[in-house]
Amino acid sequence: MKKDIHPKDYRLVVFKDMSNDYSFLTRSTVKSKETIVWEDGKEYPLVKLEISHMSHPFYTGKMKLVDTAGRVDKFKNRYKKHYEGKIK
């Protein structure tokens, strides 16, 4: 393995799943402009996630659609005629 290729600035960071407000604290080198006060009363950098292991269908066993910008609806509207023709 090559030496000195891994980052050395690991620190504690809070990751927050915005779809269900689940947060966890872990070590990371990710950069963040936002901060949050954690359960221990200390302030940590905050990284917002759209999906995590608490909301992903593979890990939860539930089919839950996460659509942050209406992408699925836009796709369905764009190809609506195509799907209606095959359904009939």
In a domain, residue 31? The reply is: yes
- Give the range of the structural domain holding residue 19, as residue numbers without chain letter: 11-87
In a domain, residue 1? The reply is: no
In a domain, residue 65? The reply is: yes
**Any residues with CB less than 8 A from the CB of 63 and at least 6 apart, and which?**
57
In a domain, residue 5? The reply is: no
How crowded is residue 55: how many other Cβ atoms within 10 Å of its Cβ? 18
Domain tally, the chain:
1
The answer to pTM > 0.75 is: no
H-helix or E-strand spanning residue 75: helix 71-78
User: Tens digit of pLDDT per residue, the chain (88 long)?
Assistant: 788 888 888 999 999 988 888 899 999 999 999 999 999 999 999 999 887 767 766 556 666 555 556 677 777 777 777 767 665 5
In a domain, residue 2? The reply is: no
Question: pLDDT tens-digit profile of 25-45?
Answer: 999 999 999 999 999 999 999
The predicted structure's pLDDT at residue 30? 92
In a domain, residue 36? The reply is: yes
Contact 24, 15 (CB under 8 A): yes
In a domain, residue 25? The reply is: yes
In a domain, residue 3? The reply is: no
